[in-house]
Amino acid sequence: MYHVITDADRYPADIGSIIPRSMIVRGGGAKNFITIKLSDELKLHRRADFGRVRQPVNGRRGFKTAKFHSLKGDGKPLVMCESWVGERWMNGYFEICPSIAAYWDQRFIVEIHDDAGPCWTVPDTLLKGNDGTFAFSEGKTCLVLTVLPDGSKKLEYGLPTTTHAKLLRIQNAFDRAGHVYQVFDQAWCAHPIRVANIKTVLSAVRKLPFGGAERLAIEPSLTRNDLTVGECARAFADRGDCPEEWVCAAMGRGLLEIDIDRPIDRASRVSRPSAPFWSSK
């Protein structure tokens, strides 16, 4: 899958009529696009300069947008949705997740021609795992607003039927081509506890000068089982009044994984990085 990022000069544009022309024009026209054929039914289109193919919503649909520079990307700013369950915390999780080595937001247009006809989408993210694997990921809230018989409304877990059917078509086309397209539940990482943990790790990794000496200091601890943040923090006991921050920075640098399903404290579980969430291992 790495060739879809690097080998731009080998693939002339072959964009079907189903793709909105306005999207191609905004991306610099067909001369600035390349097409990678993954199978007879599945094609990827991207800009030759590897820029975003979808524009930010800029307040439309009630969402504000913001940019930040990823520590794992290619130096280009990510554009994220500021809604409570939008791309903001999904991208924040990708930033701190030690099993994700790199990721790129909305750089590809997917075009499918299967038995059900033509179909297109712009996946939210292309992810690279710490095991060298790649996956396309689409973030969804996985919450549906349901109107009850008495007229009241509630959020239920799931996806609208039409959205679920389209995602399944795309996922199956990638699977038949030998690649991965995974739906990611944005509501999971937007949970208040996980948001607080994401903020904690991001703050530590951007504030602390974690380098080679720090890696050597914490590596011996990672040979043990049943580790906690407090035990790992002993390696940084002489680094100010909060050595636990250095453990959080180690997670942001991909050295270890802290359980983020509960508030991070000295008792939080620590382990070696797990496999990427899309991995079959």
**pLDDT band at residue 59, thresholds of 50, 70 and 90?**
low
CB-count exposure of residue 88 (10 Å: 0-12, 13-18, 19+): buried
Amino acid at 245: E
CATH 1.10.20 fits 21-190, yes or no: no
Residue 134 above 90 pLDDT? yes
Q: What is the pTM of this model?
A: 0.89
Q: How many distinct helices (H) and strands (E) make up the chain?
A: 9, 15
Looking at every residue in the chain, the average pLDDT score rounds to 90
Residue among 170, 176, 182, 177 at smallest CA distance from 111: 170
Query: Residue 122 above 90 pLDDT?
Result: yes
Domain spans of the chain, in order of start: 21-190, 209-271
List pLDDT tens digits, range 69-121: 888 877 777 887 766 667 889 999 999 999 999 999 999 999 999 999 999 99
Residue type, 198: I
Give residue-wise pLDDT tens across range 179-209. Answer: 999 999 888 999 999 999 999 999 999 999 9
The angle subtended at Cα 203 by Cα 200 and Cα 205, nearest 5°, is 105
Arch. (CATH architecture) of 209-271: Orthogonal Bundle (1.10)
CB 205 within 8 A of CB 253: yes
